[in-house]
Amino acid sequence: MSQKNPTYWVRSKQINEIGQFSRWPVPAKFETLEEAQLYRRHLTLHRGPYHPGYFVEVEKDTPETFTFTPGTGRS
């Protein structure tokens, strides 16, 4: 089983903000933390002063493992 790197998401602190159709989509997915932080700073500069801001969320891409052993069910 291979280990994947975590995925970084830039999300808005404003409830229900959906910006998928704008020039700067939110939420946005990135492979590195540096890219996500740079995008977050860019969004903060382009939004109005009353916007609550953005944050970077880390999503670990580790698949859940399920082990099944036959014959260990109810007796």
What's the domain range around 44? Answer: 11-54
Flag whether 75 is in a domain: no
How many Cβ atoms are within 10 Å of 10's Cβ, its own excluded?
24
pLDDT of residue 35: 93
Flag whether 63 is in a domain: no
pLDDT of residue 30: 92
| Total domains in the fold of the chain | 1
Flag whether 46 is in a domain: yes
Flag whether 49 is in a domain: yes
pLDDT of residue 1: 46
Burial of 8 (0-12, 13-18, 19+ CB in 10 A): buried
pTM confidence score? 0.67
Flag whether 40 is in a domain: yes
Flag whether 4 is in a domain: no
Reported as half-sphere exposure (CB side, CA atoms, 13 A), residue 20 has a value of 3
Flag whether 33 is in a domain: yes
Per-residue pLDDT of the chain (75 residues), as tens digits, is 455 788 999 888 887 776 655 677 788 899 999 999 999 998 888 877 788 888 899 988 655 555 555 655 555
